[in-house]
Amino acid sequence: MTIAPGARGKIGRKKAEHAELLAPRELRGIIETVLRLAKSTGVAETEVHVDEVADALTRFANNAIHQNVFERVVTVSIRTVNGGRTARATTNRLDEDSLLATIEASLSLAHSEPRDPRLLPMPGKQRYRPVNRFVQATAALTPEDRARAVRLACDLAAKKGQVAAGIFSSGQSQTAVGNSRGLFATYCETHSQFSITMQEDPAASWAKADFADVREIHPQKLAERASEKAHLAVKTQELAPGRYTVILEPAAVLDLVGFLFYDFAATAVQDKRSCLNNRMGKQLFGKNISIRDDVFHPLQKGAPFDGEGMPRQKVLLVDCGVPKNLVYSRASAKTARRKPTGHGFALPNEYGEAPMNLVFSGGDSSVEKMLASTDRGLLVTRLWYIREVDPYEKVMTGMTRDGLFLVENGTVTGAVKNFRFNQSLIEMLKKVELMSPAVRATGEESFEMVVPAMMVRDFHFSEVTKF
């Protein structure tokens, strides 16, 4: 097959084995090739996304590595506009014939739909505030590096009579967007995660970290923390369901509140599917709750532009408990007569936009201080299988997992069988009594964000399970 100029034809074997990303000129070369081909076919407007990932993940269970994977893929996604109609076609084949076929597929799809009088022209050239989240130490991590760290964690588990399971992943990705009106933006980052579950029959506990710089991850410390908590959780007592004061570790906060933020999309409000309908500007949460979306925060990751290439803005979503602002794509901004905030998804789509770089203001307490101030409550390590029960009151259900501990008179006195909760997020954020400083947290149910640990009163547990 014919390779597009400047694309993968110049990638040698050594580069492929070491998973180096395409050079910036190669990335731009793909976009320019698509724009040239599209122009030659008479397309009025063309937008091109190029996304590349090179990710590795080492997975372990039963104190040994059982899966160990690597992937590398470059995806080219093309949106054309002709006569008020737009559609997207995607391929991972970079030869000119395939790129041309993808342009034609997009055109053919668009031709099949009715004209959309609300469709906006593509944006022109934009200016972006640079962010640098590419860390060579992460990009250079090898399978052997990951295996050695996993081996140490597994050895710790074996020494303690426990069983370890988890992942150690590392990778790099880059994205570029360009269009026929001259817009061009690129972003690259590295990412790494270490997650570990330590099992001491019948209990388990868990710890996880996620950073652009793998040197900020300390696998052995995470393993030790999970190990200690698993041992503490071996003997459990069953408590009656009811309302408890809870101390939610940051991962538990993250996974729960993550379900709130799609409601801050202007399109969700315009569609009347947001819990913020008729609630903007009102005292919805406690006065100690302030939340902003800030892609430039030093603990955040992600591109400083959206699916149309619009620069992301910092947005104050909640100010002292009052929902103040929504995020806007270009389309929802036009409907609302506001300015776009750079949070739109790639077009065409029906969801509009969402804030993806959440930062809570946090407080000055700590988990230790929260424990010390609790007469009777529960310390929650992690939540699991969270789903929405009531979309307007934002009632969420889910389970505690991997370490639920009873706190009495300021200290942890034992472990408790896991509970199911049915809890309104709105009510919960009215009842936050203490917060730690916000940290970069990672869980399994939501994307990473910067959140504090929280002490919340009257958290509603409805049922108990068998372990």
Partner 1 sequence: MASVSFSTELMWDLCTYALETAKLRGASYGDVRLMHLRQRDLTTKNGQVGTLAQGESIGIGVRVLANGTWGFASTDRLTREGVAACAAQAVSIAKASALAKRSNVVLAPENAYVDSWQSPFRKDPFEIPVETQLALLLAADGEMRKVKGVTLTETSMQFRKIDSWFASSIGSRIHQRKVISGCGIGATSFQGDEIQKRSYPNSFGGQHALEGYELVESLDLMKHAPVIADEAAALHAAEQCPEKFGTLILAGNQLGLQIHESIGHPIELDRVLGQEANFAGTSFLTLDQLNKLKYASSIVNVVADARLDHGRGLGTFAYDDEGVPAQCTDIIKDGTFRGYLSNRETARLIGLERSSGTMRTESWNRLPIIRMTNVSLVPGTWDYDDLLADTADGILMDTNRSWSIDDRRYQFQFSTEIGWEINGGKKVRMLKNPSYSGITTEFWNSCDAICKFDYWTLWGTPNCGKGQPMQTMGTGHGAAPARFRKVRIGTAFSKQ
Q: Of 383-402, which residues contact partner 1 (CB under 8 A)?
A: 384-393, 395, 397-399, 401-402
Binding positions for partner 1, 16-45, rule CB under 8 A: 16-17
Please give the structure tokens belonging to residue 63.
């104190």
Question: What single DSSP character describes residue 120?
Answer: P
Pick from 173, 349, 361, 366 the residue near partner 1 by CB under 8 A. Answer: 349
Q: Based on CB atoms, which residue is closest to partner 1, 93 or 431?
A: 93
75, 90 contact by CB (below 8 A) = yes
Given the rule CB under 8 A, which of 31-39, 139-147, 336-344, 429-437 is the region that contacts partner 1?
139-147
How far is 184 from 381, CA to CA, in rounded Å?
Answer: 43
Q: Based on CB atoms, which residue is closest to partner 1, 224 or 271?
A: 271
> From the CB of 143, what's the least distance to partner 1, in Å?
3
Nearest C-alpha neighbor of 263 from the set 288, 286, 291, 287? 291
206 binds partner 1 (CB under 8 A): yes
337 binds partner 1 (CB under 8 A): no
Given the rule CB under 8 A, which of 124-132, 360-368, 449-457, 458-466 is the region that contacts partner 1?
458-466
90 binds partner 1 (CB under 8 A): yes
345, 166 contact by CB (below 8 A) = no
How far is 428 from 258, CA to CA, in rounded Å?
Answer: 13
Pick from 20, 36, 57, 262 the residue near partner 1 by CB under 8 A. Answer: 57
**How would you class 11 by CB atoms within 10 Å of its CB: exposed for 0-12, middle for 13-18, buried for 19 or more?**
middle
146 binds partner 1 (CB under 8 A): yes
Binding mask 160-199 for partner 1 (x = CB under 8 A): ---x-xxx-x-------------------------xxx-x
457 binds partner 1 (CB under 8 A): no
Calculate the CA 311 to chain-centre distance: 19
138 binds partner 1 (CB under 8 A): no
Nearest C-alpha neighbor of 199 from the set 161, 173, 170, 243? 161
> From the CB of 368, what's the least distance to partner 1, in Å?
27
127 binds partner 1 (CB under 8 A): no
Binding positions for partner 1, 254-293, rule CB under 8 A: 271-273, 277
Nearest C-alpha neighbor of 414 from the set 139, 203, 132, 209? 203
How far is 241 from 237, CA to CA, in rounded Å?
Answer: 12
Given the rule CB under 8 A, which of 92-100, 210-218, 311-319, 369-377 is the region that contacts partner 1?
92-100
How far is 219 from 221, CA to CA, in rounded Å?
Answer: 6
**Contacts of residue 35, Cβ cutoff 8 Å, sequence gap at least 6:** 46, 48, 178, 179, 180
Given the rule CB under 8 A, which of 22-30, 179-187, 253-261, 459-467 is the region that contacts partner 1?
459-467
How far is 466 from 199, CA to CA, in rounded Å?
Answer: 16
60 binds partner 1 (CB under 8 A): yes
Binding positions for partner 1, 407-436, rule CB under 8 A: 418, 420, 422
Residue spans of alpha helices (H) in 258-340: 266-270, 330-336
> From the CB of 261, what's the least distance to partner 1, in Å?
17
Pick from 20, 32, 116, 216 the residue near partner 1 by CB under 8 A. Answer: 116
